[in-house]
């Protein structure tokens, strides 16, 4: 047991203290206590932990001593040590070896009292902000070398920067303060700061003073005598020590004896009755500003910390302010400890290490800058929360001051931590737990499932942090929306982790800071990976399980009349039914005809899932409507595909179908007209009096056929086929469902506008419908003409047959009375021919005048394809000769349009 006790850490540490000081165990009790505190503290050396630099330093030391062989041997041993995993902290071992190898004959820098120790720098403790420093060219491990290295590097700003000896590197303690002290070994100087503090403690130091944190900036300028001349005070004048004590209270927002808060002026003021020289009054006023800044920040945190509606982002902002205030309080505690030590030692004169207003002014410079930044940030963030608050903090960090930028970046890492947690929860799990509406993705719980994709989730643009681009925000919205769409609408039970593997989230503010430092790299890669994986999986589900592309093609074939054999056969079957009044139609009869047309054409080979959605729809009936006016095909959509084919889209499809169906009917009607003309041409050759009228019918029919063929070509090829090809290419290249929806909406808008169904083309559509009405009227007129002509032809043939039959029987062919009746009837029929001719002439005139107005409107259209259509419709310039407005060339029309614009 004795052997074990001798090897315990306490025994070894006490032996080390005895060996270093050269005193007995009883005499090193205070040093031993302090050493125990140092070992148990979180002090860290202020040099960079770089194993390579330490090894290079050792080799340089060996080469200086002309020990080249030892340097080579050390290099080989170090290389072997690196290849093995025996030691985890090789840097610490090398650092210890280098420290122990330093020359003990170097002059000591040990201080002789607590005040001189306080004149050194603060030990580096835990900071609220990260420690940034440039890599030193050579590793400075001795106290003097460390001073030079740190003077060339940049520490953290403000309060925490005091922990790096000083901002510009520590100044060695003047030798005048070290008189009568034993020299300190170089090995001791190279030890960590905690060990050096144990060295410097005097034997008479009290335990309370040993527990106090020694910390201050070194005095400015070169070495100075330990006691300086004090200006004699006037009667009743307040001492500087009393002002220092008051100032330390003011730093914490507490009114002092002489310096108090003025509510009227909103600042700390020195009582006007106090007798004080101008320099001390000015310095005190400058220092009192820290109290005002502290109160401003503290008031904000106290008010907001208890406000739950401020949200997680706001609470993180308050926590970051609390951290900075905590560091500020830590410095004040050190200053209070020094003041207490001076009071206990009874210091009455201004020594080198005593607290003065000037020293406070120097030491509090960086904390004042930090508090000013925090106070300005608090003002700038008033009334903001969530992503808007993060944007305010981020915008405030766009400064050229590295210290201020480091402070704001640290606060931003804390503030953005909840936002990044919201974001990762949303893109990897599809969950939105935003109780206080801080995230930039908003959810509307009142929206039903069928409108989930379009209306349930949206972007709060005011809450998008400025360090997240609009494209990234859109992708984030789509990722979570896709996951919820898969679960709630597609009923896909695949876990989100299998759709896209979840990467490391921002578990700590440090992770958030690393992510924010690489927004264009790691953060963008995470968003893109989740976006592509989720969107690809969603499109695969829609195409594989719900036949999205097949439904899109079905719309083209049936509602846009792309299945030619089916449409033609359907018209043939429906012709008797649709010629009847609309009020006499029954939907079940038309549905039966539709199924017959499907079974008789290539439509029967389509997927049963598609054919069962095809149906007949009857529009609202108006007085005088026939079946042609109210008949329409319908396509039922539900489930996930209803997200693409919304009610608005199906309404557009219905409008386009009615337009195409009417144009197809005109083509069907003109075909019947042409068939009637061809069939009756030979029969009516025996009636020469009808040749003029029939010729007039043929000419008008040819004009109408040309017009309808050109319109059908324009609609079918220039509008539908071109737009469909663009849509199909976009759908094949779509990266997410929004791209498909947008491409489909562009497709519908294009065919709506180019088929003259939009508001801007209302006059053109009215003219076109008038032309269609003239074609129907012409069909009626020609049918009436042929009906009367065929009746007359039948009567004439019967008369000739009867006459011939009587002559074969040996009788007179006709009597005088019968012949007179025949001539009278023929004369009456011939008298109706001028009426028919005039009716056709009027019909031709109306038709041509409507076509002429239609061509004029086409020429003035903003759509270039419509202007080209006008040239094709008037290919022989018949209308151009009659209408001067049609004589302008296309180039002149375009130039005139541009000049008007």
225-240 core/surface letters (b: 16 or more CB in 10 A; e: else): ebeeeeeeeeeeebeb
Which of the pair, 175 or 712, is modelled with greater confidence?
A: 712
pLDDT at 444 over 50: yes
The secondary structure of 377-436 as a DSSP string is: HHHHTTT--HHHHHHHHHHHT--S-HHHHHHHHHHHHHHHHHHHHHHHHHHHH-----TT
Confidence at residue 544, expressed as pLDDT on a 0 to 100 scale: 94
Residue 816: pLDDT band (50, 70, 90) is confident
Cβ–Cβ < 8 Å for 290, 280? no
pLDDT 10s digits, 171-184: 333 333 333 333 33
Alpha helices, DSSP H, located in 212-363: 240-251, 278-305, 311-345, 357-363
Task: For the full predicted model, state whether its pTM sits above 0.85.
Answer: no
Which pair of structure tokens corresponds to residue 206? Answer: 């009290």
- Alpha helix stretches (DSSP H) within 714-809: 722-733, 737-754, 762-808
% of the chain exceeding 90 in pLDDT: 43
Return the sign of the alpha-carbon dihedral for residues 452, 456, 457, 458.
positive
Task: Give the CA radius of gyration of the chain.
Answer: 49
Nearest alpha-carbon partner for 600 in 569, 567, 576, 635: 569
Both structure tokens of 168: 């510009």
Instruction: Evaluate whether 176 touches 225 at the Cβ level (below 8 Å).
Output: yes
pLDDT tens digits, one per residue of 747-762:
999 999 999 999 999 9
Model confidence at 588: pLDDT above 50: yes
Q: Looking at 177-186, 260-269, 628-637, which range is the least confident one?
A: 177-186
Comparing 378 with 272, the larger pLDDT belongs to: 378
Check: CB of residue 641 under 8 Å from CB of residue 548.
yes
Mean model confidence pLDDT for the chain: 79
User: Which pair of structure tokens corresponds to residue 433?
Assistant: 């737990």
Stretch (H or E) spanning 608:
helix 608-611
By percentage, how much of the chain surpasses pLDDT 70? 79
Residue 316 CA neighbour count, 13 Å, CB half: 25
Q: What is the pLDDT at residue 898? A: 43
- Extract the tokens encoding 5: 């006790």
What is the reported pLDDT for 6?
59
Helix (H, G, I), strand (E, B) or coil at 854: helix
pLDDT digits (tens, 9 = 90+) for 33-71: 778 777 765 555 555 677 888 888 888 888 888 888 888
- Cα separation, 682 vs 810, in Å, equals 32
CA 66 to each of CA 73, 76, 141: distance values in angstroms, whole numbers, following the listed order:
14, 18, 21
Inter-residue contact 297 to 371 (CB < 8 Å): yes
pLDDT in tens, 323-361: 999 999 998 998 888 888 877 776 444 555 678 888 888
* Whether pLDDT at 226 is above 50: no
Q: What is the pLDDT at residue 261? A: 86
Better pLDDT: 341 or 4? 341
Query: Closest by alpha carbon to 310, among 384, 371, 420?
Result: 384
Cα–Cα distance measured from residue 895 to residue 794, given in angstroms and rounded to the nearest whole number: 62
Q: Which of 68-82, 415-429, 454-468, 783-797 has the lowest mean pLDDT?
A: 68-82
Q: Is 615 helix (H, G, I), strand (E, B) or coil?
A: strand
Judged by average pLDDT, the poorest of 571-575, 802-806, 807-811 is: 807-811
Q: pLDDT digit string (tens) for 64-82?
A: 888 888 888 888 888 888 8
Mean pLDDT of 698-714: 94
Q: Does residue 741 carry a pLDDT above 80?
A: yes
User: Does 577 have pLDDT greater than 80?
Assistant: yes
> Using an 8 Å Cβ cutoff, are 430 and 496 in contact?
yes
Residue that is written with structure tokens 């101008």 in the block = 278
What was the pLDDT predicted at 142? 36
pLDDT at res. 209 = 37
* Of residues 588 and 26, more confidently modeled: 588
Torsion angle defined by CA atoms of residues 183, 188, 194 and 197, in that order, rounded to the nearest 10 degrees:
0
The tokens for 763 are 């006059």
Asked if pLDDT for residue 614 goes beyond 80, the answer is: yes
3-state secondary structure of 636: coil
Tell me the three state secondary structure of residue 174: coil
Inter-residue contact 532 to 448 (CB < 8 Å): no
Torsion from C-alpha of 573, 578, 580, 581, nearest 10 degrees: 160
Phi, psi of 275 (to 5 degrees): -85, 120
CA–CA separation, 302 and 820 (whole Å): 121
Question: Mean pLDDT: which of 109-118, 176-185, 448-457 is highest?
Answer: 448-457
Of the candidates 210, 215, 195, 213, the residue with the CA atom closest to the CA atom of residue 29: 210
Model confidence at 229, in pLDDT bands (50, 70, 90)? very low
Are the C-beta atoms of residues 560 and 656 closer than 8 Å to each other? yes
Q: Are 489 and 640 in contact (CB under 8 A)?
A: yes
The pLDDT assigned to 22 comes to: 83
How many Cα atoms occupy the beta-carbon half-sphere of 598 within 13 Å? Answer: 21
Phi, psi angle pair for 333, to nearest 5°: -65, -35
Please say whether the beta carbons of 133 and 48 come within 8 A. Answer: yes
827 vs 44, more confident: 827
- The rounded distance, in Å, linking the Cα atoms of 289 and 298 is 14
Give, in order, the Cα–Cα distances in Å from 285 to each of 30, 124, 260, 399.
Answer: 41, 30, 11, 28
Which residues face 635 on adjacent strands? 614
Per-residue model confidence (pLDDT) at position 214: 36
Q: What is the pLDDT of residue 122?
A: 38
Mean pLDDT of 419-427: 91
> Given a cut of 90, is residue 602 above it in pLDDT?
yes
- Cα–Cα distance for residue pair 844/707, rounded to 1 Å: 14
Count of other CB atoms within 10 angstroms of residue 326: 11
pLDDT at 246 over 50: yes
Q: Which residue has the higher pLDDT, 150 or 887?
A: 887
- The yes-or-no verdict on residue 583 having pLDDT over 70 is yes
- The most confident of the ranges 304-308, 524-528, 889-893 is 524-528
For residue 384, pLDDT beyond 60:
yes
DSSP string of 303-340, one letter each residue: HHHT-GGGHHHHHHHHHHHHHHHHHHHHHHHHHHHHHH
Q: Compute the average pLDDT of residues 104-111.
A: 46
Those residues with Cβ within 8 angstroms of residue 311's Cβ, 6 or more apart along the chain or in another chain:
385, 386, 418, 435, 436, 437, 438
Count Cα neighbours of 169 within 13 Å in the Cβ-side half-sphere. 16
Q: How far is 168 from 259, CA to CA, in rounded Å? A: 32
Phi-psi region of 307 (alpha: psi -120 to 50; beta: other; left: phi over 0): beta
The structure tokens listed for 181 are 């002290």
In this prediction, residue 147 carries a pLDDT of 36
| Cβ–Cβ < 8 Å for 852, 882 | yes
CB 438 within 8 A of CB 387: yes
Of 25 and 512, more confident? 25
- pLDDT category at 233 given cuts 50, 70, 90 is low
| Length of the chain measured in residues | 901
Q: What confidence tens digit (pLDDT) does each residue in 143-170 have?
A: 333 333 333 333 333 333 333 333 333 3
Report DSSP state, residue 513: H
Q: What is the pLDDT of residue 125?
A: 37
pLDDT at 47: 59
**Residue 516: enclosing H or E segment and its boundaries?**
helix 509-516
């Amino acid at each position: 047991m004795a052997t074990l006790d001798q090897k315990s850490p306490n025994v070894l540490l006490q032996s080390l203290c005895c060996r270093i000081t050269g005193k007995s165990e009883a005499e090193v009790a205070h040093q031993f206590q302090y050493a125990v505190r140092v070992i148990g503290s979180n002090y860290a050396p202020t040099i960079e932990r770089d194993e390579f630099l330490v090894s290079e330093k050792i080799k340089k030391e060996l080469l200086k001593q002309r020990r080249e062989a030892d340097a080579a041997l050390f290099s080989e041993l170090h290389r072997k040590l690196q290849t093995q995993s025996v030691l985890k902290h090789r840097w610490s071992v090398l650092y210890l070896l280098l420290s122990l190898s330093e020359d003990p004959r170097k002059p000591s820098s040990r201080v002789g009292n607590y005040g001189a120790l306080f004149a050194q720098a603060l030990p580096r403790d835990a900071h609220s902000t990260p420690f940034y420093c440039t890599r030193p060219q050579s590793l400075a491990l001795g106290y003097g070398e460390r001073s030079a290295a740190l003077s060339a590097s940049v520490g953290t700003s403000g309060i925490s920067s005091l922990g790096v000896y000083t901002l510009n590197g520590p100044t060695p303690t003047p030798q005048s303060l070290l008189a009568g002290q034993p020299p300190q070994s170089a090995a001791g100087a190279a030890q960590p700061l905690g060990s050096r503090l144990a060295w410097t403690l005097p034997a008479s130091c009290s335990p309370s003073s040993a527990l106090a944190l020694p910390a201050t900036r070194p005095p400015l300028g070169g070495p100075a005598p330990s006691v300086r001349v004090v200006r004699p005070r006037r009667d009743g004048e307040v001492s500087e020590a009393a002002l220092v004590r008051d100032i330390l209270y003011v730093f914490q927002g507490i009114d002092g004896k002489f310096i108090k808060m003025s509510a009227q002026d909103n600042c700390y003021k020195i009582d006007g009755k106090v007798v004080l020289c101008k320099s001390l009054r000015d310095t005190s006023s400058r220092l009192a500003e820290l109290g005002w800044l502290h109160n401003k920040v503290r008031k904000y945190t106290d008010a907001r910390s208890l406000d739950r509606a401020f949200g997680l982002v706001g609470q993180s902002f308050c926590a970051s302010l609390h951290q900075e205030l905590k560091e500020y309080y830590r410095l004040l505690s050190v200053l209070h400890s020094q003041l207490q030590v001076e009071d206990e030692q009874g210091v009455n004169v201004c020594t080198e290490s005593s607290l003065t207003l000037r020293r406070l002014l120097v030491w509090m410079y960086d904390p004042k800058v930090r508090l000013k930044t925090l106070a300005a940030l608090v003002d700038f963030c008033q009334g903001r929360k969530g992503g808007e608050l993060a944007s305010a903090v981020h915008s405030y960090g766009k400064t050229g001051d590295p210290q201020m930028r480091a402070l704001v970046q640290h606060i931003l890492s804390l503030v953005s931590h909840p936002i990044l947690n919201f974001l990762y929860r949303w893109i990897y799990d599809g969950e939105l737990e935003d109780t206080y509406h801080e995230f930039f993705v908003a959810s509307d719980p009142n929206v039903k499932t069928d409108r989930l994709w379009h209306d349930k989730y949206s972007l709060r643009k005011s809450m998008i942090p400025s360090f997240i681009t609009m494209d990234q925000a859109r992708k984030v919205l789509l990722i979570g929306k896709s996951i919820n769409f898969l679960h709630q609408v597609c009923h896909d039970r695949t876990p989100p982790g299998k759709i896209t593997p979840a990467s490391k989230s921002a578990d700590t503010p440090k992770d958030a800071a690393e992510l924010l430092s690489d927004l264009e790299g790691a953060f963008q890669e995470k968003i893109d990976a989740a976006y592509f994986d989720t969107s690809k999986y969603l499109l695969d589900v829609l195409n594989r399980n719900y036949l999205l592309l097949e439904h899109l093609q079905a719309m083209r074939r049936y509602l846009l009349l792309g299945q030619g054999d089916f449409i033609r056969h359907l018209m043939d079957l429906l012709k008797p039914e649709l010629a009847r009044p609309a009020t006499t139609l029954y939907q079940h009869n038309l549905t039966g005809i539709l199924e017959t047309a499907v079974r008789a054409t290539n439509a029967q080979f389509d997927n049963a899932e598609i054919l069962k959605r095809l149906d007949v729809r009857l529009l609202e009936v108006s007085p005088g409507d026939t079946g042609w006016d109210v008949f329409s095909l319908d396509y039922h959509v539900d489930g996930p595909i209803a997200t693409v084919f919304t009610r608005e889209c199906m309404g557009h499809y219905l409008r386009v179908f009615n337009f195409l169906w009417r144009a197809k009917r005109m083509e069907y009607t003109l075909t019947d007209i042409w068939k009637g003309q061809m069939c009756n041409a030979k029969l009516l050759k025996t009636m020469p009096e009808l040749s003029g009228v029939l010729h007039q019918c043929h000419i008008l029919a040819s004009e109408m056929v040309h017009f309808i063929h050109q319109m059908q070509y324009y609609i079918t090829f220039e509008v539908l086929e071109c737009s469909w090809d663009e849509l199909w290419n976009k759908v094949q290249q779509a990266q997410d469902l929004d791209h498909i929806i947008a491409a489909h909406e562009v497709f519908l808008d294009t065919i709506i506008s180019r088929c003259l169904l939009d508001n801007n083309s209302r006059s053109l559509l009215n003219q076109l419908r008038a032309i269609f009405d003239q074609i129907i009227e012409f069909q009626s007129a020609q049918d009436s003409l042929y009906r009367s002509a065929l009746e007359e032809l039948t009567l004439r043939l019967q008369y000739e047959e009867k006459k011939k039959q009587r002559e074969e029987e040996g009788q007179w062919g006709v009597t005088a009375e019968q012949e007179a009746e025949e001539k009278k009837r023929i004369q009456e029929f011939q008298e109706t021919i001028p009426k028919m001719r005039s009716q056709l002439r009027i019909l031709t005139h109306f038709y041509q005048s409507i076509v002429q107005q239609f061509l004029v409107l086409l020429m003035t259209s903003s759509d270039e394809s419509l202007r080209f259509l006008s040239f094709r419709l008037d290919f022989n310039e018949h209308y151009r000769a009659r209408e001067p407005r049609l004589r302008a060339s296309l180039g002149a029309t375009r130039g005139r349009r541009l000049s008007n614009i």
